[in-house]
Structure 1
Amino acid sequence: MDVVSDKEFLNRFIGTNLTITTIHGRFQGELFHIDSARAIILVKVKDLSTGKTIPGAKLFFGNVILKVETEEEPLDPISVERDEPADESIGNTQSEDDVKQPPELEEVDPAPLESVKKSNVQIIKFSGDEEDINYVLVDKFQPMFGPAIRHLQNQKVLSLSAVALNVSRHGKLCWLQVAAKSCVYIFDMLLLGPGVFKNGLQMVLEDKSILKVVHDCRWLGNFLSHQYGVILNNVFDTQVADVYLFSMETGGFLPSHTSTIKDCLVRYLNLSPSQVSFLQYKETLMKDNPNIWCDRPLPTAALKLLSLEVVHLFSLRLAMLDGMLGDYTWLVDGYLSAYRHGASDVILSSEATSSELPKELQQICLLQQKRREKALKEYQVNGAGFLKRAEK
């Protein structure tokens, strides 16, 4: 009996402990999922040859499995053709054929939520009067992945975040959150691997017609580029926007340090402490369990905070854009009323005055000078000439 292909048989063991013997060794863990691509996924995995615990989920393809055993008795050995040994680490085992999007995926209804099982859709209740937000956990290619990609491809603005172990180009990406205005898609990178990008998400992230809102895009852009060959395009970075707005408000000074997402949500959206408490909860979770993002299944509370981390970025971007346009709007208002409230009845043509800068537009220099003088009274200046923001 080919145990890997007998999906119904193995599904009866979901949640139980299995021991898998492969051409590379023996591993023990809790059965989490049977993949349609002839693969078994275990969580809480222990390498029996070394005695070490492996964080997160581990994927075993059928071509390297020799035997699958329960705690009670061994199951029939698997008779399969031996291909070249595959690295069993998540994200490195899948060839292009392994992760190719199944043909029937094209026939799935493109509605983002209707074709997703209700068990995979959670409703987040915000503090205050904000609307409920849907999040969709995407941890397999069927039936959720295709509709999610189609929905994201049709958006003009998306918000983006991620969590990883070892935040560097050599780390491990665990979860990727991509939000449209109507819902948040949480991609399980440990289970899905690079197929997430090869089957459509790379096209979304690189699409120059779709704006991506991110807070501090540096590490994520570095990560995606070096590990997956994905180049983020058309990014609105809220951390950069905060520095730009500070410079506007102080007449050209720069702050001594950048702001966290929590600082920005409070500063520009006036969110209450309870509305940003999820960020503190995230820090607490990580402190109690540094490897929490490798846990499968991830606790519902953790999935909710991953969603909350991106949904506010839409409103934050709009508030920042309003601030950026503040000086421009002020100048236009002055320009508009220049002749309307003037004493002269003579209106000069634009051709006659094109070489002169109108005094109404020169007001921006006076405004900036006043802001600089005010900033020097309100802030301390460090040795580099940057203004010290008050610690919160």
Structure 2
Amino acid sequence: MDRVGDGDFVRVRVLDGTYEGAVLSCHRPTQQLTMQRVKDVETGRMHARMTFHWTEITKIEVLERANKEMPCATKETSSKEGVPVAASPVKTPPSKQASHSRRRSGGATTTTGSVHYDLVKTKEKFEKMVACVRQFKIIGLGLEGINLGKAGMVTIIQISCSVQTYIVDFQAIGRYCFEHAAFVDMLQSDQYLKVIHDSRNVSAALFNFKIRLENVFDTQVADFVIRRNTHKKVPRFISGLGDCLMRYLKMTEEQVDFHKYAHQCLKSNFKVWSIRPISVELLDAAAKDVLYLPALHQAMMKAHFSDFTRGFQVYLEAGRSVSRPKCSSGVMPQLKDLYSFECCCEQKDC
């Protein structure tokens, strides 16, 4: 694949569509491609800016080169870290915890390190956020608060989609968030997939507002099932978000420091999410807590269906072979050999 540089006009194919636009930045540490003046090829709709994680991209084409080329990836990373190539979804490791932040004048769009998010503190901004997020069918969702659950208090709502990540200051906006018809409909609708890590407290907190979460993909449960199926025994422990990010998105322990930082703050002060103003480091952690959930969902689905896809490949190769076998009701020897290999996994530790 040709290298992608800032200013290049590219066409990006992802799982939910095709987009064209100018490359604003291509950041290797986070493996994020940010484009501006983006056009949805299928609908013609224009977006000011969109950010794609490499795990979402199936193909990228350079339509027009800018004057100065800045490589998005080197040959060393193309096979291991995952340069976007046709029909080969790739991995999405995050950046380390942010070292700086800046705020755009006239708005609440904030950049912490290389992570972009909107801090929503007014009803007007909240309505715009809902209108934007409702355009996407898969969203990352999280809540923070004091003793979050049935008897706790919500202070922060985190939402991510393909375009942007949002942090809603529930203390500033109040119950209006959970009285907003379109937002409540999105949470309860089976038309939107909500990706959450450990949905128990989130579900309990929302139920206090008479909101019943539907169509949820819980990454903690998914990890439990995948490990059970892989190792043929029930795992002894459930995994935290950091473990899942390292296991499925191949992130390093250093790259999930943001998750540990938030837990340390919460351990030292259980009311930390109610303190205003929210620290830059906590905002960074809150944004990253949901930023990678859609990519994690995709990676887990791939892992879950890996047995199926390997079997499909056996059939495809058999159909292409010179001595093509006749179709019958019997099980192909290659298929038996493939799945008998699974017994080897039983010796592995969960």
TM-score, normalised on structure 2? 0.65
Shift of 1:315: 2.0
Of 106, 109, 134 in structure 2, the residue corresponding to residue 153 of structure 1 is: 134
- Aligned pair count reads 250
Select the structure of larger CA radius of gyration. Answer: 1
Cα distance in 1 between the residues matched to 2:335 and 2:209: 48
Q: 1:282 to 1:346 in 2, by over 3 A?
A: closer
Counterpart of 1:138 in structure 2 is 120
Cα distance in 2 between the residues matched to 1:246 and 1:337: 28
Cα contact 2:115–2:284 (8 A) shared by 1: no
Of 312, 329, 340 in structure 2, the residue corresponding to residue 366 of structure 1 is: 340
Cα distance in 2 between the residues matched to 1:339 and 1:157: 35
How is 1:250-269 mapped onto 2 (pairs within 5 angstroms)?
250=231, 252-269=232-249
SS in 2 for 1:236: strand
Cα contact 1:149–1:201 (8 A) shared by 2: yes
1:122 aligned to 2:110?
yes
Counterpart of 1:300 in structure 2 is 280
Q: 1:285 to 1:359 in 2, by over 3 A?
A: same
Q: 1:154 to 1:112 in 2, by over 3 A?
A: farther
Cα distance in 2 between the residues matched to 1:156 and 1:133: 22
Counterpart of 1:191 in structure 2 is 172
Counterpart of 1:232 in structure 2 is 213
Cα contact 1:112–1:148 (8 A) shared by 2: no
SS in 2 for 1:282: helix
Shift of 1:261: 0.3
Shift of 1:301: 2.1
Q: Deviations over 1:77-96 (max 9, x none)?
A: xxxxxxxxxxxxxxxxxxxx
Cα contact 1:241–1:320 (8 A) shared by 2: yes
Cα distance in 2 between the residues matched to 1:135 and 1:289: 25
Cα distance in 2 between the residues matched to 1:319 and 1:269: 7
Shift of 1:338: 3.4
Which of the pair has the greater relative contact order for Cα pairs under 8 Å at 6+ separation?
A: 2
SS in 2 for 1:187: strand
1:347 aligned to 2:326?
yes
Counterpart of 1:74 in structure 2 is none
Q: 1:363 to 1:222 in 2, by over 3 A?
A: farther
Cα contact 2:165–2:291 (8 A) shared by 1: yes
Shift of 1:368: 2.9
Structure 2 counterpart of 1:167, one-letter code: L
Deviates more, 1:255-264 or 1:188-197: 188-197
Cα contact 1:134–1:182 (8 A) shared by 2: no
Q: 1:297 to 1:364 in 2, by over 3 A?
A: same
**Structure 2: gaps spanning 5 or more residues:** 1-45, 50-103
Identity across the alignment (%): 25
1:217 aligned to 2:205?
no
Superposition RMSD in Å? 2.5
Shift of 1:182: 2.2
Counterpart of 2:85 in structure 1 is none
Cα distance in 2 between the residues matched to 1:219 and 1:291: 16
